[in-house]
Structure 1
């Protein structure tokens, strides 16, 4: 059975989505998501309402409108790495401290899913909880767990929880 790579990244915005402090982030969501969707190896993205400039920000976690999630599926590690570190996405990643609060817990997780599977947000949050509790395992992991992942070693920003 062919497997694809799922990833969940969550963050807590420093302000509501209509606040000027997060305007640049919100104004570029559709642009960045569009680049991701056009990348070779992109498979699927959890979608929001489709309202321009909102991305998937209405998928609130624990009912908190500032706690947002990005959930995608990719054919392989290299496809996700190329999008994250090899496109303009990286410039926005580097600016994350402007828009997101410092998170005290792990906020990113990847795991393998069967081809054709579209994970739910609940499933993804369960994987994140596993990684928070158990560290990297075959069921929930970060970049370092993946032997074939290379770009994060030279392109990632300095480690921090945000």
Structure 2
């Protein structure tokens, strides 16, 4: 059967998606998402069917939280993309666009190959990580759990 690695990360925007504060972020979405889709180990990413991402979807019903979800062949592929030359500059600038949240904003979990997680699945996994810390059901790149046997 096999497994793939699902990831979610959220951000509380400092302005609306059409605001000046969010302009560079929004202008970079097409490039960043194209880099993800072209990366080794990329499987799938959530889109809202409107633009270059899922900026129209709400997380926990909060209009200021935007969500990014994707599925990868494993943690090494995800790390290579996250810290790669296209995404890394945006990662460095995240505080310009998003508030610093004390709680976890990223969660990873294994899904059966071919399964695509929903926003509700991601909300549950991030909640679990926030409440229990890293477990095989919800973990981070710094506290990874191996693919289920």
Question: How does the TM-score come out when normalised to structure 1?
Answer: 0.86
Q: CA deviation at 1:49?
A: 2.2
Give the equivalent residue in structure 2 for 1:46. 46
User: Across the two proteins, how many residue pairs are aligned to each other?
Assistant: 146
Q: CA deviation at 1:147?
A: 7.0
Asked whether the equivalents of residues 109 and 127 of structure 1 are also in contact (C-alpha less than 8 Å), the reply is yes
Compared CA separation, residues 143 and 102, structure 1 to 2 (3 A): same
> Secondary structure of 2:6's partner?
strand
CA RMSD across the alignment:
1.4
Compared CA separation, residues 63 and 130, structure 1 to 2 (3 A): closer
More helix by share: 1
Structure 2: stretches of 5+ with no match in the other structure: none
1:29 aligns with 2:34: no
Q: Distance in 2 between matches of 1:128 and 1:35?
A: 25
Runs of 4+ residues deviating >4 angstroms: none
Asked whether the equivalents of residues 21 and 99 of structure 1 are also in contact (C-alpha less than 8 Å), the reply is yes
Asked whether the equivalents of residues 17 and 66 of structure 1 are also in contact (C-alpha less than 8 Å), the reply is no
Q: Distance in 2 between matches of 1:87 and 1:115?
A: 28
Asked whether the equivalents of residues 11 and 67 of structure 2 are also in contact (C-alpha less than 8 Å), the reply is yes
Question: How does the TM-score come out when normalised to structure 2?
Answer: 0.93
